[in-house]
Amino acid sequence: MESTTRQTAILGFGNPVRADDGVGIYVIEQLQHRLGTRDDLSLFDMWTSAFEVLFKIRGHERIILVDAVINTDEPVGTLYKVPAAELEAQIEDDPLVFLHGLKWNQALSYARKMLGADYPEDIEVYLVSIESTRFNVGMSEAAIAAGDRLVDIILGDLNS
């Protein structure tokens, strides 16, 4: 009997030495702690390596991205769930687009072009509102609380 379980990849982005910007990494760490290893799930601590998205999403039918967003005029810890299609950047056929300067929304656009029919259509983006990306090891209580809420949301979603 063939399995109907979809392969899901969850990618957390951010920089844990840039204050609340590390919330995506925090979510991945919490999920790893609570879920352990599952055959239907890949958890990726992406830091700021958005270009790797192109290679890590191959073979997954569902992708969940977690990142911080700044300058939303909302309180720190406000959660957003946005379809990736609304956030994909235009592909820049520009020789000055460098791999290390690529943002994940641009990387998704390149992935769509490179993977063609293998590009997963079920991509969700969770964003956590933050105030600053100043140099600081550790996150605010509001960002940690938002990360914990997001972990619970993702766990509920995975278990439904």
103-118 pLDDT, tens per residue? 677 777 778 888 888 8
Assign 89 a pLDDT band (cuts: 50, 70, 90): low
CB 88 within 8 A of CB 120: no
Fold classification of 8-159 (topology level): Rossmann fold (3.40.50)
DSSP states of the chain: ----PPPEEEEEE--TTBGGGGHHHHHHHHHHHHH---TTEEEEEEET-GGGHHHHSTT-SEEEEEEEEE--SS-TT-EEEEEHHHHPPPP---TT--GGG--HHHHHHHHHHHHGGGS-SEEEEEEEEES---SBSS--HHHHHHHHHHHHHHHHHHH-
Distance of CA 88 to the CA centre of its chain: 13
Tell me what the mean pLDDT of segment 85-97 comes to.
57
Assign 156 a pLDDT band (cuts: 50, 70, 90): very high
CB 123 within 8 A of CB 108: yes
Contacts of 157 (CB under 8 A, 6+ apart): none
The percentage of the chain sitting over the pLDDT mark of 90, rounded to a whole number, equals: 41
What does the alpha-carbon distance between residue 88 and residue 91 come to, in Å, rounded to a whole number? 9
What does the alpha-carbon distance between residue 119 and residue 132 come to, in Å, rounded to a whole number? 33
pLDDT at 113: 82
pLDDT at 99: 44
The percentage of the chain sitting over the pLDDT mark of 70, rounded to a whole number, equals: 85
Residue 95 has pLDDT above 70, yes or no: no
pLDDT digits 0-9 by tens, 20-70: 999 999 999 999 999 988 999 999 988 767 667 777 788 899 989 898 988
For 30-34, 121-125, 144-148, which range has the lowest pLDDT when averaged over its residues? 121-125
Residue 92 has pLDDT above 60, yes or no: no
Q: Which of the pair, 105 or 93, is modelled with greater confidence?
A: 105
Q: Which of the pair, 138 or 96, is modelled with greater confidence?
A: 138
Residue 142 has, within 13 A of its CA and on its CB side, a CA count of: 15
Instruction: List the domain boundaries for the chain.
Output: 8-159
What does the alpha-carbon distance between residue 16 and residue 130 come to, in Å, rounded to a whole number? 13
What's the residue count for the chain? Answer: 160
Residue 2 has pLDDT above 60, yes or no: no
